Amino acid sequence: MSETIQGAGGHEPYGERLARAIGQRGPLCVGIDAHPAIMDAWGLPQTPAGLLRLSMTVIEAAESRVSAVKPQVAWYEAHGSSGMAVLEQTLEAAREAGLLSIADAKRGDIGSTMEAYAQTWLSDGSALAADAVTLSPYLGAGSLAPAFELAEATGRGTYVLALTSNREGASVQHVGGRESVASGVVKAVEARNSHASRATRTDSDQIVINPHGLVVGATVGSSPQAVGVDLADFSGSVLAPGYGAQGATAEMLGSVFGHVRGRVLVNSARGILREGPGLGQLRRAMDSATRELEPFLAVA
């Protein structure tokens, strides 16, 4: 069994914990995505009780096998206060299992409202605090400063939407060609990383992972080059959703993210969850995905 990955409460920088997790367990992040089709396939009711069962089963299967889990916050919010209570339990269970947690909340706002979102997802005193949270930069990347600052102060991380794999995203993110909106987001996040107080290295002192990362879809293909995004010089981590059910293969991931190996988390939700609900089946699916990814994204 691999070493437990310390949670954020110890204030060890997120990048350091992430680098250790990827080094020990590989780049797989399992999405906890309570899509109605998954719930039905598992024979679970679309209720808070069913949501809790799904969440706890995924975490039990993932323990000691993968680097992180990513609860899709919208499915918890859909159940109101009871669903958010389940999310609190889910994040706590991930901590106890030694798994890094990424709250996929995609928050973005300005001023005091952004400060409130930051407190919710990144402060030590919040029951909803995760190891990292996804953020939307489309009110201006500078509007995310409260989240950046709090993440740095508490040893947590952020993932900013940069180049997503949904077709609609191109209408905003690709605008400007090689001086695109997406490239501007990447530059803004890297500028924040350059001023972060907790730039970290792995024990081997080879890989630097700063606290603020990017969301870049696993199915983007050659889009990064076309819109002026060069991940080779980016010092944070990259969260890459879309592996498995959304069509991205390990070979595709290797071609897009091979030059940031050791700093990429590959998310698979339905591709793993459709193998459930049995623990053994889920574990085999996770192990199979990790083996498939290893030749392309393993730390050199």
Question: Which tokens go with 111?
Answer: 């001023």
Cβ neighbours of residue 228 closer than 8 Å, sequence gap 6 or more: 177, 178, 179, 180, 182, 183
Residue with tokens 């954020």: 8
278 φψ region: left (φ > 0), alpha (ψ -120 to 50), beta (else): beta
Higher pLDDT, 63 or 166: 63
pLDDT at 183 over 80: yes
Residue with tokens 């972060």: 196
Helix or strand run (H / E) with residue 192 = helix 181-195
Q: Which amino acid is present at 255?
A: S
For the entire predicted model, the pTM comes to: 0.92
Q: Could you give the CA distance from residue 250 to residue 230 in angstroms, rounded to a whole number? A: 20
Higher pLDDT, 258 or 115: 115
- The pLDDT value recorded for residue 228 is 85
Question: In terms of Cα–Cα distance, which of 244, 233, 282 is closest to 63?
Answer: 282
Tell me how far CA of residue 159 lies from CA of 65, 97, 204, 291, in angstroms.
22, 22, 25, 25
Three-state SS at 169: helix
pLDDT at 190 over 70: yes
How confident is residue 165, by pLDDT bands cut at 50, 70 and 90? Answer: confident
Indicate if 106 belongs to the active site: yes
Which residue is catalytic, options 106, 174, 187, 201? 106
Mean pLDDT lowest for which of 89-103, 204-218, 264-278? 204-218
Average pLDDT of the residues of the chain = 91
- The pLDDT value recorded for residue 77 is 99
**pLDDT tens digits, one per residue of 27-37:** 999 999 999 99
* Average pLDDT for 59-75: 98
- Write the DSSP symbol of residue 172: H
pLDDT at 298 over 70: no
Question: Which tokens go with 80?
Answer: 């109101």
Residue with tokens 């250790």: 20
Q: Which fold has domain 8-292?
A: TIM Barrel (3.20.20)
**pLDDT tens digits, one per residue of 137-163:** 999 999 999 999 999 999 999 999 999
